[in-house]
Amino acid sequence: MMVVQQALAIISFLMNCLLISLILTKSPKTMGSYKYLMIFMSGFEIFYAFIDLLIQPEVVTMDSFWLSMTSAKRSVLPLEVAYPLLLVWGGSFGIALACFGIHFVYRYLIITGNKKWTTGTSSIFLWISVPILSGFVYVFAIHYFWQLSEVMDTFVRAALEKSEEVSKSQLIFFSSYPFKTIPKSEVILLDWLQIYGVIFLCSSVSLSFFTMIYFGLKTYSAMRKFREATSTDSASSKNLQTQLFYSLVIQTIIPVILIHFPTTLIYISTFFDAAYPVYGKIVTVTISLFPAIDPLPSLLIIRPYRRAIRGCFMGNFGLKGGISVEPSNRGTSTMYTRRTAQF
């Protein structure tokens, strides 16, 4: 498991560094300030992968509860440093939710021609501050709400001590479990702090989804009108806006599949006392996979980046964009060359 996490963290670092390089060097001027939001997203994913590499956290599922943990055996850093990083690792979920939400809002404002909120240094800092603030709120919520009762803490440490082969003092974790008593106890006591934490999580996820769906639909509708309208905007500018929108849609689907669905499965299975250990391992891998493949839509859909990657491969392998044809086939050759140039 740890080897897989390390490999995915390295891939994430390389993929996002490539995307940042292309954003800085190959972005057309018509992209405007949006490229800085893209750079922030890639920078966040590099930071996330770096934490994954340093402390190698794992999601553990045990019948009726789950937890996110690391240990002195996993982390290359002292536990005093690893615990804040574990909180930031969990808080990254809040950053990702806010990032995708503001991306859809920003794209809608761009399509509708709102320059007040989409141009200038101050507006960019404002947009970037939203996911950062969301991350701080999540870190606080995890630290405050998702701490186990003394009885449950002792129970969990005893279980992890065997599986991790480390002493109880060498374990750090946060967990979501709505009871103060151990599983299958005769007396059940609710842990209201934990319940408030779950309510906060569900509310924030719902708000993020509502924002993405609402502004996604409005952006799609506005984009259709934008493409059909006769205006001074060039065809390349309209095509770029379309590419950016579809890239964003696919980038949003990726965490839904890799993070939202698996974590929802865990919550449902813990409710029915059926959270098997394999569920936690699957979620650990899918969470690590997210920053590694999330840059792909931008790299493959946005034409200037795709051309740059294609040109790099062509140059390295000595390939050319066209083919040799007989003189009588000049018309076909011209058509092929044009299509190749538009790749």
Reported as a single tens digit per residue, the pLDDT across 200-241 is 988 988 898 899 899 999 988 888 887 776 555 567 777 888
With 50 as the cut, is the pLDDT of residue 19 above it? Answer: yes
pTM score, whole prediction: 0.83
Which positions ≥6 away from 26 have C-beta within 8 Å? 304, 305, 307, 308
The domain segmentation of the chain, as residue ranges, is 2-301
**What is the rounded distance in angstroms from the CA atom of residue 260 to the CA atom of residue 190?**
26
Residue with tokens 């740890």, as numbered in its chain: 2
Buried b (16+ CB within 10 A) or exposed e, 9-41: bebbbebbebbbebbeebbeeebeebbbbbbbb
With 90 as the cut, is the pLDDT of residue 259 above it? Answer: no
Q: Which of 78-82, 118-122, 252-256 has the highest mean pLDDT?
A: 78-82
Residues forming beta bridges with residue 138, ordered by sequence position = none
Topology given in CATH for the domain delimited by 2-301:
Rhopdopsin 7-helix transmembrane proteins (1.20.1070)
Take residue 54 and report the two structure tokens written for it: 């340093």
Residue with tokens 């509310």, as numbered in its chain: 203
With 60 as the cut, is the pLDDT of residue 62 above it? Answer: yes
